[in-house]
Chain A
């Protein structure tokens, strides 16, 4: 239950930061900021989904994690690591052509990796482990 609370706290902090970011910037003018805030909102949604699922499991007296959830996390992590290498390679390619600031590049890298993890998790969760 403690971990579930931590998930909700992190999601709330991230959501607050995103709202403050959106309010303090001219979000309508900058497509880059819209993409980053959109990506952040996707991750907040993901965190809330995980938190709600865990809370529901604990209310049903089911274990919060079991062998399937561990395997999904392991598989999603390895898949997202593999894809992230290509993402970082793409960013290196872009950085030679687009004059982005260092913090923007770092933000895009971290946010992109988080979204890749979310995508990998979705893929593993819905496709399963048919051939393993």
Chain B
């Protein structure tokens, strides 16, 4: 799964720490997400999408399996 967090963060002028604080996680979690080393829980994906005022599908790009 890929995501557009880095791009959207730049557009909204948010640092990793700002975003982490807004969604209640550590900065390291945002680093992991941006590097694609971690797939977030549905709740975290929802919270991040909400910060950017977008839907989950617009922030996180799922690889089609089926």
Q: Interface on A for B, CB 8 Å cutoff?
A: 57, 60-63, 66-69, 71, 127-130, 132
Contact = CB atoms under 8 A, between A and B. Distances in A.
Q: Lowest 4 A-B CB distances belong to which pairs? A: A128-B37, A68-B29, A66-B25, A62-B26
Interface of B: 17, 20-21, 24-29, 32, 35-41, 44
B32 A62 contact: no
Given A57-B26, A67-B29, A62 B20 contact: yes
By CB atoms of chain B within 10 A, which of A57, A62, A129 has the most? A62
B16 to A, nearest CB: 11
A86 B40 CA distance: 32
Nearest to B33: A68
Nearest to B35: A128
Nearest to B24: A63
Contacts of A130: 36-37
